[in-house]
Amino acid sequence: PLEWPVVSGKSVFNEFSSLARALGSSCVDLGQGFPNFDPPDFVVRALQQELESRADGGPQTRHQYTRTAGQPLLVELLAERYSRHLDRTLDPMKNVAVTVGATNGLYLAMKTALQRAGQGEWEILTLEPFFELYRAQAEGLGATF
């Protein structure tokens, strides 16, 4: 059975969330997605337009799950943009992935790197200070950290 490492001790999230609470309204805690402000007006207007849009006499709102690696139109636009930036053609369905937050993105990047390293004992080296999530993800994937 898979055994996940137990992360104990201080947590950067706990420390920064405590600090943000202590600083009150003079601080914006974005460490875990706790903004203390509303989204920009253009975002609210875009959402309103989407919710009010109609197609074939009914709501056009798209709120269903999309493909795991990102909504096709989004990955196509990202592939087009980064193909120019990287000066090579990227296949949007093979070379571009949109993740659900940084934690998922970091996990997929580490898993991909370890898989490309081939079978054997994996060891990951990093410089301190490092993001504490790296250790848990590395150990969870079977690597020595």
- Cα–Cα distances (Å) from 113 to 4, 63, 118, in that order, read 20, 33, 9
> Which pLDDT value is given to residue 65?
75
Given a cut of 80, is residue 57 above it in pLDDT? no
Question: What are phi and psi for residue 10, nearest 5 degrees?
Answer: -70, 150
Q: What is the pLDDT averaged over residues 91-117?
A: 90
> Which pLDDT value is given to residue 24?
86
> Which pLDDT value is given to residue 41?
96
Given a cut of 80, is residue 108 above it in pLDDT? yes
pTM score, two decimals? Answer: 0.56
pLDDT digits (tens, 9 = 90+) for 13-25: 777 788 888 998 8
The torsion defined by the Cα of 112, 103, 70 and 89, in degrees rounded to 10, comes to: -50
The encoded tokens of residue 23 equal 């600083």
Name residue 124's amino acid.
I
Given a cut of 90, is residue 81 above it in pLDDT? yes
> Which pLDDT value is given to residue 59?
63
